[in-house]
Amino acid sequence: MVVAMAFPRRLLRILGPIAVVLLATVIVSQLIANKGLASPWSASSRQSNANYERVPPKYDPKRMHLLIPATSTNHHLCQLLTTAALMGYPAPVLINYGAPEDKDDYKQHLTKVAGVLDYLHSLPESEDDELVFMIDGFDAWFQLPGNVMLKRYYDTVEAGHRQNVASYGQDVVDENGIRDTVIFGSDKVCWPGGWERPACWAVPESRLSSKSFGPYTDQGALEHTRPRWLNSGTIMGPVREVRDVFEAAQRKIEENHVTDSDQYYFGIVQGEQSYKRRILKMEADQAKGYDISEMELFLRPKRPEKDIPKPPKGARTEYYIGIDYESNLWQTIAYYDEYLTWVRHNISEQYMPGVMGWDYQYPNYILPDDLVSFSRSPLSASARPNDARNVNDDMPEELFSWSTVPLVVNTASMTIPPVVHFTGKKAYREIWWGRSWFYPHQKSMLEALRRRGPVKTGPHRDAAAGAWTLLDKELGWVDWEDGLCQPFERKLQGLEELDPSELGFGNNWG
| Residue extents of the structural domains in the chain | 60-332
Taking residues 292-299, report their average pLDDT: 96
Phi/psi at 332 (5° precision)? -80, 155
**Of 143, 139, 146, which is closest to residue 70 (Cα–Cα)?**
139
Share of the chain above pLDDT 90, in %: 74
The three-class DSSP label of residue 438 is coil
Between CA 417 and CA 406 the distance in angstroms is 13
CA dihedral (359, 360, 365, 368) in degrees, to 10, reads 80
Q: Are 505 and 187 a contacting pair, CB within 8 Å?
A: no
**Does residue 13 register a pLDDT over 50?**
no
Calculate what percentage of the chain has a pLDDT beyond 70.
83
The predicted model gives 435-454 an average pLDDT of 95
**Residue 1: its pLDDT value, please?**
34
- Name the more confident of 437 and 354: 437
pLDDT of residue 351: 53
pLDDT of residue 20: 39
Write the DSSP symbol of residue 237.
Answer: E
Residue 389 binned pLDDT confidence (cut-offs 50, 70, 90): low
The whole-number pLDDT of residue 105 equals: 59
pLDDT value at 31 more than 70: no
- State the average pLDDT over residues 250-258: 95
Q: What is the pLDDT of residue 362?
A: 55
The pLDDT of residue 43 is above 80 = no
Q: How far is CA 336 from CA 188, 203, 341, 406, in A?
A: 8, 21, 10, 18
Omega within 30 of 0 (cis) for the link into 192 = yes
The more confident residue out of 460 and 8 is 460
pLDDT band at 506 (very low <50, low <70, confident <90, very high): very low
Q: Between vectors from CA 331 to CA 329 and to CA 334, what angle results, nearest 5°?
A: 155
Counts of helices then strands in the chain (DSSP H, E): 15, 13
The reported pLDDT for the residue numbered 388 is 72
At residue 42 the predicted structure's pLDDT band, cuts being 50, 70 and 90, is: very low
- pLDDT band at residue 53, thresholds of 50, 70 and 90? low
| pLDDT of amino acid 23 | 38
pLDDT, position 349: 60
Predicted confidence at residue 509, as pLDDT, reads 47
Q: What CA–CA distance (Å, rounded) separates 387 from 412?
A: 39
| More confident position, 356 or 144 | 144
Higher-confidence residue: 451 or 142?
Answer: 142
Query: pTM for this one?
Result: 0.87
> DSSP E strands: which ranges in 204-339?
229-238, 321-323, 330-332
pLDDT grade for 254, boundaries at 50, 70 and 90: very high
| Local confidence band at 386 (pLDDT 50, 70, 90 cut-offs) | confident
- What is the structure's pLDDT at 12? 38
- pLDDT of 379 reads 93
